[in-house]
Every structure is written in structure tokens, then in C-alpha cells.
Amino acid sequence: MKVCMMTSVYALGEDDRNGSFLVECNRYMTERGYRVEVFAPSYEGRENHSVQGVPVYRFRYFFKRFENLTHFQGAPNRIRNPLYLFVAGFYILSGLVQAIGFCRRGNYDVIHVHWPFPHGIWGYFAAMAHRTPIVLTFHGAELLLSKKFPFVAYFIRHAVRHAQALICNSNYTAGQLAALTGVPVASIHVIPFGATVEIKPVEKNRAKPVKDVLYVGRLIERKGVGYLLNAWTDIVKHTQARLHIVGDGDKAAEWKALAQTLGIEASVSFHGVVTNEELEQLYREADVFVLPSIVDSRGDTEGLGIVLVEALAYLTPVVACDVGGISDVIRDGETGLLVPQRDAKALTDAVLKVLENPELAERLVNAGAAHARTYFDWRRIIDALSNVYGSVTREKS
């Protein structure tokens, strides 16, 4: 079966972590015998290439200097600048025209669209032009936009009516989509994405004198790293520890300045974007992984929080805020600890509780790893995707 994946974000190279869960998904799909090709926007002039043997077609949509609407900060953050609203128009129109031609040349059995607004526009017309089944996967960001812009809500309802299958990355996202469109939750496939690494045996030295606490993700408002930094001022008063922050985004400079203002810069390392090998080493050394996500000023939050699965894969206990789809991954007191959002004191207490209680840490990671092996196992996930693809192609025939 030949599948066209349409997405706004996909790895720019072998070591790039943008859309890493899509890369991993396609690797497993290829091993199952699927022929997957990716249709994605260029980034600052990036030409066609391949990642792990999967062809990636990069369509151009603007001048190279401003061709950065996607990746890293993400379009919802970029369009706060009015210039990028103008760029977004070219993005949608260029993507539409080139998607139709791309699908005509590819003769695909299924078109699978991620983030259906605005990419469902491309998928809809390409599918109509070539009578190809279309599958839509919602990750949450497009549902946020629908709350702010009525035309987005209208389009999503239209796209849902014409799709052969709907997928959401979490029960939280599925509930939002059902509320917006009136589609029964039972008819929505909830298929998460697994860890980008295999679960590996890791020997953690929980008795080491200086503890390592890790955050991995974009440095944008909804990640809530500012609350973790405020919590860190109290954490380091009670234990010797170092905070490792991995990632980049439009809040990077602000949060680095906050660390200096709080007087904690000596125990906080901003690593920026790292290689897969460097990230693996950070996971292996981490004593606690923290995801302090919030519902941001635009109403955006975590659709799932896939980095939590990666942390569990490295047997790292997790502390996270109870927002969005995080509770699909972390069951409080069982596979990790959940705390209220925007509560630095609660973050402090939870992190110290794990650091100071090795037995609790072991119990959490053992249960968390078992959860990851089942619910987030790539074999189960690819089985579910295969069932969806099989059902829509049978309907076509």
C-alpha cells in the first residue's frame, strides 16, 4: 500500500527532532511493507531529501528568508507577527496547488493528513481530484485555532464530514473534536505515537550526590518552563541538583534571563537543540523528568506529551502538570506524579519527593515502563493504523 503523509512538520535531517514521532512511525510502517512518502513545507529553502529512507518532498512557498513558518517555533507562534499571516496565505495556496500535482504523480492508496487545518485543504482537494481515501489526524493545535476563528471551526466540520477516518492523539483531543463537530467519540480512533527510542535497560545511580533533572521540548509559552525555574529556586535549597533544559523556541532568551534574575544560572544548563546521541545520554543520566506544561494565553496545551513516553523508555520517573492529554501517559501515583498547572510549589514538592525517595522512583518507573510497553508500543500503534488504512481502502473498493 502506498501512503502520502501530509504534514507541516517533519525532520529536516537524520538528527533533527522536529516531528520525530512521525519519522519513527514511518520507519515502522516501512518495515511493515508500506510505501510512505511525505509532503511537507520547505524550511528556509530546504530541498527534497529523505529521512531513514523515506522520501520527503519539500514544497516552496515564499522567499527563503521568511520560509520558516513551520518547525521550531511553530506556525501558531509565528503568526503573532502580522507579516507571517501574509506568508501563511502563500503557504496554504502553494501547498494546495503542489499537493494536487504531487498526489497525481504518486497515485497513492491513502492520503493521511496531520494537523487538518490548514493541511486538510490540501488533502481534501487532492483526494477529490484523484478519488483517494483521506485520513485526518488531529493533534490539538487546530482545535485551539477553531476556538479563536469561526472559519477554522467551519472548515474542520467540513473536513470531518468528507474524511473516511478520524484519528486523535489522545482522549483529551478526541473529546475536543467530538464537542466541536458532533461526531461521536466512539467513532474517533485514539492512536497515540510511541517513544522515539526502544525501551532499554538503564542502570540509574539513585544514590549519586548531585541529581540531574531533565526537561525536553520546545521553549514556548505552553511548556511552562518559567514555573519550573521558579520551583528550582526552592529545589536547590533542599538538595544538590542540576537542571538540564533541552530545546529552543521564542521563550529561550526570556527564560535564560529569568534563571539569572532568580540567581540559579549556576545550576541550570540550557542545551539548545542536541543530537540524538546527546539526548540519549541526558535521559540515561536523568533522575527525574519534568514537564511543567500549562494552558497558555491562547488556550493551547499538550495534546499528548510524547516526550513523557521517551522518559519512561529510559526508566526515568516523571513529574508533569495535569493538563491536556498528559493523563493518558501519566497516571498519578502509578506511572508518575501529576501536579496542578502554574503551581511552582507543587512542582517543588513533587520533584523533591521523587529525588528523596528511591523506592518511589523505582516503583513509578517500573509501572511507567510497563505502561509504555503496552499502550505506546509501536507494534500496537502500527497495527491500529493498518486497521484504519485497511478499512478506508476497503470502502473505496
- CATH classification of the domain holding 73: 3.40.50.2000
Q: What are the DSSP E strand ranges found in 177-249? A: 189-190, 211-216, 241-246
Measured between its terminal Cα atoms, the distance across the chain in Å is 14
SS3 182: coil
How much is the pLDDT for 199?
67
Residue 393 pLDDT grade (very low, low, confident, very high; cuts 50, 70, 90) = very high
| Strand pairing class (49-51; 54-59) | antiparallel
In a domain, residue 206? The reply is no
* 319 and 250 part of one domain: yes
- Contact of 195 with 373, CB cutoff 8 Å: no
| Strand pairing class (49-51; 35-41) | unpaired
* 105 and 217 part of one domain: no
Q: How many domains does the chain have?
A: 2
Q: What is the identity of the amino acid at 397?
A: S
Q: Please state, for a pLDDT cut of 90, what percent of the chain lies above it.
A: 73
In a domain, residue 154? The reply is yes
Quick one: which of 339, 227, 355, 199 has its CA closest to 286? Answer: 355
Bridge partners, 134 (sequence order): 111
Quick one: which of 362, 345, 87 has its CA closest to 228? Answer: 345
* 160 and 250 part of one domain: no
Q: How far is CA 348 from CA 91, 166, 213, in A?
A: 43, 39, 12
Q: Say yes or no to pLDDT of 49 above 60.
A: yes
Domain hosting 261: range is 211-376
In a domain, residue 238? The reply is yes
CB atoms within 10 A of CB 383: 12
DSSP 294: -
Q: CB-based contacts of 364: which residues, under 8 Å, 6+ apart?
A: 317, 318, 334, 335, 336, 337, 354
The alpha carbon dihedral of 327, 328, 333, 335 has a sign of negative
Q: Say yes or no to pLDDT of 24 above 60.
A: yes
Quick one: which of 315, 342, 337 has its CA closest to 326? Answer: 337
* 215 and 173 part of one domain: no
* 131 and 267 part of one domain: no
- Contact of 88 with 75, CB cutoff 8 Å: yes
Question: Look-up: residue for cell 492512536?
Answer: 191
In a domain, residue 250? The reply is yes
* 160 and 222 part of one domain: no
- Contact of 157 with 130, CB cutoff 8 Å: no
- Of 24-33, 43-52, 292-301, which range is least confident? 292-301
In 163-213, alpha helices (H): 171-181
How much is the pLDDT for 373?
82
Is the pTM higher than 0.95? The answer reads: no
Complete DSSP assignment for 132-173? --EEEEE-SHHHHHHHH-HHHHHHHHHHHHH-SEEEESSHHH
pLDDT digit string, tens, across residues 117-139: 989 999 999 999 989 999 999 98
Q: Say yes or no to pLDDT of 256 above 70.
A: yes
Bridge partners, 241 (sequence order): 211
pLDDT digit string, tens, across residues 335-383: 999 999 999 999 999 999 999 999 999 999 999 988 888 888 888 999 9
* 229 and 345 part of one domain: yes
Cα separation, 290 vs 87, in Å, equals 35
* 143 and 76 part of one domain: yes
Q: What rounded mean pLDDT belongs to the chain? A: 92
Q: CB-based contacts of 192: which residues, under 8 Å, 6+ apart?
A: 169, 170, 304, 306, 309, 328, 375, 376, 381
In a domain, residue 352? The reply is yes
What is the average per-residue pLDDT within 35-47? 95
Question: Look-up: residue for cell 519519522?
Answer: 23
* 85 and 160 part of one domain: yes
In a domain, residue 205? The reply is no
* 127 and 238 part of one domain: no
pLDDT digit string, tens, across residues 215-228: 999 999 999 999 99
In a domain, residue 51? The reply is yes
DSSP 310: H
Cα separation, 166 vs 177, in Å, equals 10
Q: Say yes or no to pLDDT of 193 above 70.
A: yes
* 369 and 381 part of one domain: no
In a domain, residue 241? The reply is yes
* 120 and 156 part of one domain: yes
